[in-house]
Structure 1
Amino acid sequence: MYNILMTILPIANNNYVAFTFFVGCMAMLAASVFFFFEVSNTDKRWRTSVLVSGLITFIAAVHYYYMRDYYLATNTSPTFFRYVDWILTVPLMCVEFYLITKKAGAKIGLLWKLITASVFMLVTGYIGEAIYGAETQSWVWGTLSSVGYLYIVYLIWFGEVAQLANNAGTAVATANKTLAWFVLVGWAIYPIGYIAGTHGGLFGMDVFHGLSLDIVYNIGDAINKIGFGFVIYSLAQSDKPTLA
């Protein structure tokens, strides 16, 4: 396996799945460089948030490099590598909600709620896709995964995160609302990939036949991870202290 992943394999012109892995890797890497360089140009209140944004895209870039070569070498979806990526990056994306509302009084308990819900969502999703993906009961695990997702949606739209963001000022409230839309709409891309990649993923029915789950996941990752980072960066740039 190590030798396979260390070999740089060429991409055929019509291999669109591998191409999205390549573009995703380059896009994530470019975003990481930008966020890391901008940390020093960011007000100290938001440096950690911008740094976390860079970590998210950097971790993803490394995994996309491996996933591209794995896919080219085996012609199978790199499910394990993808979930390793997500188990690291998705909780970090949830950490961003805690960081931007911390100055409004967010407690460590909120951080653990977000992390626990995201890990639950990913673990149940992995079980459904990697273990039961070829069986019709994969929809059960997909439904369980959705419970964690919906809890996160509740927290950031109506629950504790939303309330804290509204008390933190206009800039934070606006950023939280934008990030909330990413979670509600952008993260909704992933169930499409799950349904396309499992047998009976939609309540026992096979739909999206012929749609590549990897293309769906790759597009979703690029939109959400890079988009999350730029929302945080925009917040850091707009919420600067006023000079007397």
Structure 2
Amino acid sequence: MIPDELTKGQFDTVYNVLSLAIAAQLFTAIFLLAAQPRVLQRYRQALVISAIVCGIAAYHYFRIFDSFKKAFVSDAPGGESVYKQAIGESFNEGYRYVDWLLTVPLLLMELVVVLALARKLQASLLWRLIPASALMIALGYPGEISGDTTTRLIWGTLSTIPFLYILYVLFVELTRSLDRQSPTVRMTVSRMRILLFASWGVYPISYLLPVIGGDGPVAWVSKQGAYSVADILAKCLYGLLIYRIARLKSFSDEKSFAKDEGKEDLVEAKP
């Protein structure tokens, strides 16, 4: 539940972490777009998708930031020790779910695209991962906005089903398709999957805070911070790893490109 009031320290914490998320998402998107010439043409689509993910996140974090500033106000010049909910205003948590509904499927898409798998296998993975990810987000939203513990648990459990299926596809099905990738690419993909698992694991923990008694201003501020940091890891750091994979595969595909980039030492023999 959204608290009725925040201390100045709590207000500043949320204010600053939302500002950090905006900056991280925005400038990662700019970097990924500017880095297009650093990879071969066939891998640029993955970087564009990654930049779109960060751009969508930056936009929604700006909306979250604006909603937060309107929801908690202080009439005292320079701010007082307590920020109260403004009359007629409320913090809109729905912006996060709109963001996730758009970006989570794209996160999975960019991983599949950058690996340049066989067309049939690529289509098979996408047809399973994208609907499952959209369903996971959609099922979690009714519980997020509910103040009833039972309702939250029911929708949270339903949302977990597609989440577990996505993990199965990423850690079992996708692994079978990595045989033709270089050892360095396989290692990077493994790190990306662990990153997704770790960062996505923050969401259900934050989601369940009200259920386990973690309610009130401290829990709410902690949840906003956890969501924001997890989004930075799952989008910005993930996007940079996508960029690394695209670079490695570019060097492996064309030795002349690796030479031009001064990265001959990163060229690996194809398995």
TM interval, shorter chain, is 0.7 to 0.9
The Cα of 1:103 is off from its aligned counterpart by 2.8
Distance 2:147 2:131 in 1: 24
Letter in 1 for 2:43: W
Distance 1:172 1:77 in 2: 42
Over aligned residue pairs, what C-alpha RMSD do you find? 2.0
Letter in 2 for 1:146: T
Number of the residue aligned with 1:121? 136
Which amino acid counterpart does residue 80 of structure 1 have in structure 2? Answer: G
Q: Which residue of 1 aligns with 2:117?
A: 103
Question: Conserved in 2, the CA contact under 8 Å of 1:195 and 1:208?
Answer: no
AA aligned opposite 1:41: R
2:87 counterpart of 1:74: no
Question: Which structure 1 segments of 5+ residues have no match?
Answer: 1-11
Q: CA deviation at 1:45?
A: 2.2
Distance 2:200 2:179 in 1: 23
Q: Which residue of 1 aligns with 2:99?
A: 85
Cα distance, 1:135 vs structure 2? 3.5
- Where 1:231 maps in the other structure, the secondary structure is helix
Alignment map for 1:1-244 (pairs within 5 Å): 14-75=11-72, 76-104=90-118, 106-130=121-145, 132-159=146-173, 161-196=174-209, 199-200=210-211, 205-207=212-214, 210-212=218-220, 213-239=223-249, 240=251, 241-243=254-256
Residue 207 of structure 1 and its aligned partner are, at CA, apart by 4.0
Name the CA distance, whole Å, in 2 between partners of 1:44 and 1:53: 15
Q: In structure 1, what residue type is equivalent to 2:204?
A: P
Deviations 1:39-95 (A, max 9, x none): 122211210111111111111011111110101111454311111111111110010
Partner of 2:81: none
Normalising by structure 1, report the TM-score. Answer: 0.85
Contact 1:104 1:168 in 2 (8 A): no
Shift of 1:115: 0.4
Distance in 2 between the 1:163 and 1:169 partners? 14
Q: Which whole-Å deviations, capped at 9, do the CAs of 1:85-111 have from their partners, x for residues lacking one? A: 111111100102321333345231210
Instruction: Provide closer, same or farther for how the CA distance between residues 174 and 45 of structure 1 changes in structure 2, counting only shifts above 3 A.
Output: farther
Structure 2: distance between partners of 1:155 and 1:171: 21
Name the structure, 1 or 2, with higher relative contact order (CA <8 Å, separation 6+). Answer: 2
Paired residue type of 1:228: Y
Decide whether aligned partners of structure 1 residues 140 and 70 sit closer, same or farther in structure 2, where only a CA change above 3 A counts.
same
- Which of these two proteins has the greater Rg computed from alpha carbons? 2
* SS of residue matched to 1:154: helix
Query: What is residue 7 of structure 1 aligned with on the other side?
Result: none
Q: CA deviation at 1:170?
A: 2.5
Q: Is the 8 A contact 2:25 2:54 kept in 1?
A: yes
Counterparts of 2:215 and 2:177, CA distance in 1: 39
Is this contact kept in 1: 2:47–2:110, CA < 8 A? no
Unaligned runs of 5+ in 2: 1-7, 73-89, 260-271
For normalisation by structure 2, the TM-score amounts to 0.77
Q: For residues 215 and 178 of structure 2, what CA distance do their matches in structure 1 show? A: 37
